[in-house]
Structure 1
């Protein structure tokens, strides 16, 4: 197949290239950039010179329709919504890595993102691309809203138990840690070496734009409104997300029972690994890969369930899951192009 990537200079796009150039079903890759058209990708990322040395082109609907089967938007917020309505009138499949189509209410999007998005009619056409939970819906989609990095790690950790009677859904606390690549490639003082090295800080406390995305899909399963406390932190590493979730228990339950529940929920999913009791997840265990590692603890002293989830924010939290969604769309093996071991050390 022929694929296109919009936003060819970002970290999400370069990760798409890393995997797609080794994907057996991909014959051609087109790169689109409004700011860098005519520039060879190797001039931006020299390490790609012998792998995908093509020039970035201007994005037009006509060019996409003529040359592309599936189009990835690896763009900042409030870009993809300007193009996708016209593309939905064609046969092109679309996988949007931005947040523009993850929420079904434009007013909610504007309140959290402080930007404009598509109308409700278009938002309703998007299928949420949490590949390890909604594979059947994804297979039928034309437009996939690829999940955010924090929501991927958090939802994979909470969805197996969110509708169970033994937890208090009003008690959920989500503590997240991310590497600096989550801030993107643009320069800013907050990720300057002297500011970030040997430092760690919370940010967007009570106001992170991924909060309504997490709450939406938890509420969808429970059929009741859910509100979480979510506090993200940035730590001095390049890649990785570690999320620790705390949920109050309403009844006595053993760790083995919860472990069995999680293992059953993900038994058909190649990229979610439920760890044994003695093996706590680390970001290094999934570095550069499409895996999510989960660990369950039942703290009987405090009567809480504690879930630890780790992913690579640029792979499982973005480009890897997008390719997993592409594989589902085209009836390919879900692991095609992605079945690589994590980088270690």
Structure 2
């Protein structure tokens, strides 16, 4: 028996970033699954587009024999708006986030898992106008006069997963409470770091036949408060509603649903190769604000098809979505025309 290598390097190319900073995204990840010999994991990542670059670090440490883990996540991103006509304003932004997550599994068996966790986080972003050397400038609601927004929050999450040979059902719930600490943004009127929200996600995967899958997933965000942009839900793009640009809608509350069927059309066991066609997929998204006016169009839906290919260390996906609701958005990129692709390769 040969012990598996705990180190691997992965590369991802996709067009799932906002066109405002360049939709084509390159990502490199270095992962070590046993840093000190105690099962601690470290992930380092670098992401870039035409108008942005970012770095992220995640370190996860087991802290009990029951597989309780403590994780530290750090991200930092610098970006500039390159999309016409806003590029003439020379808009730039820098943002960062730090999160501490404690997760404890209550039940952990091959067929069932139940876990609880707490997450303490601080998110920050600041926007700048380079035109006329204006400097820090508020471009999002709730930002201070220097364009800075800071959110400090505590999250309590619950996870439940049930597995069998034919299906997997996973449900996740998280309650978020924002507070006035760690330099958080506080305003006399309008949104600030003081908020409450609930997020729920569910996914059901059913094996209908060999390599034939039915996937159904949904998510929701609900809040009684007007939220800062950092906490709003984004609707639109490959991960939510295909057929639209990334974050076509950005609202306080939102609901998403998606259904797709994957059918095998080619197999090659010798090279661990599989080609599947996604026929069809249907995505729905609905967003609304708590206090401010809703977007002119706050319901979007997409219908389409796709291809998935995997062979050994290579994974690739292509989706083509047709928007069923017109949002009058100009289509200047593949993403805005409803074409999405992802290519993943693991080098080790």
| Larger fraction in helix | 1
TM norm structure 2: 0.30
- Structure with greater contact order relative to length (CA < 8 Å, sep ≥ 6): 1
Larger Rg: 2
TM norm structure 1: 0.31
| Larger fraction in strand | 2
